[in-house]
Amino acid sequence: MTNSPITLGAINMEAADPIGLADFWAAVTGATMNVNGDSVYLAPNGPIGFGMFFQAESGPRAAHQAAHMDLTVSWGTREAEVERIIGLGATYKWDVLEEFAHVKWTTLADPEGNLFCVAEHPPV
């Protein structure tokens, strides 16, 4: 039996305002919002994109965020992308620029405080 490749179908997030948070992420990723009641699906934007699904919170938010997304952009474009995403409503948290030779990244928070990184890798 041959295993087929595993790919990311969608990232699922709970939100206080699923439509508002999905609107932010649609602007970040270029995806189109598909609203169904209180939930929203963002289909992948192209063959290398990823889907996102937003639904209402089912309980209190955990005090610690156990996972976060790392978004990758082309080398030399991180600063411009970070500024664009901040303009969409993200909050700047910190940069890690000299710690690793293979990556530079900026950590941001989306409008509901979920951390995510925008990273660039030097060409090989």
In a domain, 118, yes or no: yes
Query: Residue 71 — very low, low, confident or very high, per pLDDT cuts 50/70/90?
Result: very high
The answer on 71 and 53 residing in a single domain is no
What letter represents residue 52's amino acid?
A: M
Specify whether the CB–CB gap between 94 and 3 falls below 8 A. Answer: no
Stretch 49-61: mean pLDDT, rounded?
90
In a domain, 77, yes or no: yes
Q: How far apart are CA 93 and CA 105, in angstroms?
A: 11
What confidence score (pLDDT) does residue 74 get?
A: 92
Secondary structure (3-state) at 26? helix
What confidence score (pLDDT) does residue 3 get?
A: 73
Which pLDDT tens digit goes with each residue over 74-112? 999 999 999 999 999 999 999 999 998 899 999 999 999
The answer on 73 and 52 residing in a single domain is no
Q: How far apart are CA 40 and CA 23, in angstroms?
A: 9
Helix (H) / strand (E) containing 34: strand 33-36
The answer on 20 and 71 residing in a single domain is no
Query: Residue 123 — very low, low, confident or very high, per pLDDT cuts 50/70/90?
Result: confident
Specify whether the CB–CB gap between 32 and 75 falls below 8 A. Answer: no
Report the CATH number that the domain containing residue 96 is assigned in CATH.
Answer: 3.10.180.10
**Can you give the residue range of the structural domain that contains 89?**
67-124
Q: How far apart are CA 12 and CA 90, in angstroms?
A: 19
Q: In the predicted model, is pLDDT for residue 119 greater than 90? A: yes
Whole-prediction pTM: 0.86
Domains in the chain, number = 2
Q: How far apart are CA 98 and CA 67, in angstroms?
A: 23
Which pLDDT tens digit goes with each residue over 57-70? 888 887 778 789 99
The answer on 74 and 124 residing in a single domain is yes
Tokens of 114: 């979920």
